[in-house]
């Protein structure tokens, strides 16, 4: 575990009471991704630094999971390469499941729409069903997305109780409908007396993704670390975002997972910046120029102009969050990126 990941794990441990996880068996699907991978690191950190004796079961589709390769042979960890749209094949009694499987990168979920939809629907149904068959007291956490608000108005923050606008013509429907369907399945389990929750994730970023991650922040950073002097954006960069550092995200997710009383929560940031402002932070760090552009790129065209989720429900249960500032968060992210990937740039 490198120093950047360990520092974040220290912060999470200090700010969140996770003592209830001692001795538990935890399943993380999608463990080769940003969120699943970081949860894997954190639970391993609890074992090695605080003797939590957690049995950690990791799954992803990859037979060679680069993000978590350093964990595969560690004590109390087992890895399974599985296609969850077919079903889960783990013969263990699970106490907590974090369902992180599925594509979170727009370029991926736009290019593989059928798999995207079924991972978030039939995959959730089969995985949670298998877990509850072995342990009716298990707690299952589904990672949904703020993308479900993509067709709602953006003049105010989106609450969990808002009606969801949909359109059959939207380019991101496989992802949006998949997340809505996944939440519906979670609610069915809850209504049958089982323990589950959905977390609508919004714009999580930070150390822990793979080099070829295709989200806009990592894409711009990868270009900035190359020999390119001027980085041209897909569009004018005016879209507004409230990015959430991985440390704040994990703290909020664990609070919801361990102590949350509602069936669904928004998880997002507080500080609003434009895509251009975010890109300018990266440009300044690497001494590169950022140029606004106009493009018919299908990813940027279908992206919402503003992403803003209400955190009031979370605040009422857990109080104010001491968010890491965007300037500090992106600075540590960029330092990690250079440390992790220097030499790989073209």
As a whole number of angstroms, the distance between CA 270 and CA 258 comes to 23
Binning pLDDT at 50, 70 and 90, where does residue 103 land?
A: confident
Whose CA is closest to 43, among 5, 80, 81? 5
* % of the chain beyond a pLDDT of 70: 95
Backbone angles phi, psi at 219, to 5 degrees: -65, -45
Task: Kindly state the DSSP code that residue 83 receives in the 8-state scheme.
Answer: -
pLDDT computed for residue 186 by the predictor? 98
Provide the token pair at 158.
């989106």
* CA-to-CA dists, residue 37 to 65, 96, 182, 209, angstroms: 10, 16, 21, 8
Strand partners, 273: 241
Strand partners, 99: 29, 142
Give the residue-averaged pLDDT of 43-61. 97
Give the residue-averaged pLDDT of 50-69. 95
pLDDT computed for residue 305 by the predictor? 84
pLDDT computed for residue 229 by the predictor? 95
Kindly write down the DSSP assignment for every residue of 171-234, as one continuous string. Answer: TTHHHHHHHHHHHHHHHHHHHTT-EEEEEEE--EE-S---TT--SHHHHHHHHHTSS-SEEEPS
Is residue 107 predicted with pLDDT exceeding 90? no
Give the residue-averaged pLDDT of 143-167. 92
pLDDT tens digit string along 201-243? 999 999 999 999 989 999 999 999 999 999 999 899 999 999 9
Mean confidence (pLDDT) of the chain: 93
Which positions ≥6 away from 145 have C-beta within 8 Å?
104, 175, 176, 179, 200, 201, 202
> Please, are residues 95 and 24 in contact by the beta-carbon 8 Å criterion?
yes
As a whole number of angstroms, the distance between CA 133 and CA 293 comes to 53
Out of 11-25, 41-55, 153-167, 289-303, pick the least confident.
289-303
What is the length of the chain?
A: 346
Q: Check residue 245 and give left, alpha or beta (phi > 0: left; psi -120 to 50: alpha).
A: beta
Task: Return the HEC string of 126-166.
Answer: HHHHHHHHHCCCCEEEEEEEHHHHCCCCCCCCECCCCCCCC
Whole-model pTM: value is 0.94
Whose CA is closest to 192, among 265, 128, 239? 128
For the CA atoms of 36, 41, 42, 47, what is the dihedral angle to 10 degrees? 130
Give the residue-averaged pLDDT of 154-168. 91
Whose CA is closest to 323, among 306, 311, 305, 337? 311
Give the residue-averaged pLDDT of 245-257. 98
With H, G, I as helix, E, B as strand and everything else as coil, classify residue 269.
Answer: coil
Backbone angles phi, psi at 289, to 5 degrees: -90, 145
pLDDT tens digit string along 75-100? 999 999 998 888 788 889 999 999 99
With H, G, I as helix, E, B as strand and everything else as coil, classify residue 278.
Answer: helix
Strand partners, 158: 309
> Please, are residues 75 and 46 in contact by the beta-carbon 8 Å criterion?
no
pLDDT computed for residue 201 by the predictor? 97
pLDDT computed for residue 77 by the predictor? 97
Is residue 108 predicted with pLDDT exceeding 80? no
As a whole number of angstroms, the distance between CA 31 and CA 44 comes to 13
Binning pLDDT at 50, 70 and 90, where does residue 345 land?
A: low
Out of 49-58, 168-177, 264-273, 307-316, pick the least confident.
168-177
């Amino acid at each position: 575990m490198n120093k950047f990941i360990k520092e974040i794990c220290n912060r999470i441990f200090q700010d969140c009471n996770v003592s209830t996880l001692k001795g538990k068996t935890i399943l993380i699907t999608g463990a080769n991704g940003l969120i699943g991978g970081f949860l894997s690191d954190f639970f391993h950190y609890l074992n090695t630094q605080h003797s939590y004796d957690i049995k950690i079961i990791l799954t992803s589709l990859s037979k060679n999971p680069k993000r978590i390769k350093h964990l595969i042979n560690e004590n109390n960890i087992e890895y399974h390469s599985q296609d969850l749209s077919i079903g889960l094949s783990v013969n263990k009694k699970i106490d907590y499941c974090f369902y992180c499987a599925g594509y979170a990168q727009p370029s991926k979920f736009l290019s593989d729409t059928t798999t995207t939809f079924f991972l978030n629907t039939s995959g959730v149904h089969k995985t949670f069903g298998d877990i509850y068959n072995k342990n009716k007291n298990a707690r299952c956490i589904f990672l949904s997305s703020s993308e479900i608000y993509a067709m709602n108005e953006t003049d105010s923050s989106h609450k969990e109780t808002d009606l969801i606008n949909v359109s059959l013509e939207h380019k991101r429907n496989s992802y949006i409908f998949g997340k809505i369907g996944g939440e519906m399945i979670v609610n069915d389990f809850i209504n049958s007396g089982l323990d589950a929750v959905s977390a609508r994730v919004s714009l999580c970023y930070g150390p822990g993704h793979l080099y070829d991650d295709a989200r806009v922040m990592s894409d711009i950073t990868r270009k900035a670390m190359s020999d390119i002097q001027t980085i041209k954006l897909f569009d004018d960069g005016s879209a507004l975002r409230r990015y959430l550092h991985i440390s704040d995200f994990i703290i909020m997710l664990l609070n919801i997972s361990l102590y949350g009383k509602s069936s669904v929560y928004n998880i997002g940031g507080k500080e609003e910046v434009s895509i251009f402002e975010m890109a300018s932070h990266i440009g300044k760090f690497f001494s590169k120029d950022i140029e606004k552009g106009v493009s018919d790129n299908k990813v940027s065209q279908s992206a919402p102009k503003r992403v803003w989720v209400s955190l009031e429900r979370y605040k009422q249960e857990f109080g104010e969050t001491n968010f890491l500032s965007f300037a500090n968060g992106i600075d540590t992210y960029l330092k990690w990126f250079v440390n992790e990937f220097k030499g790989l740039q073209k």
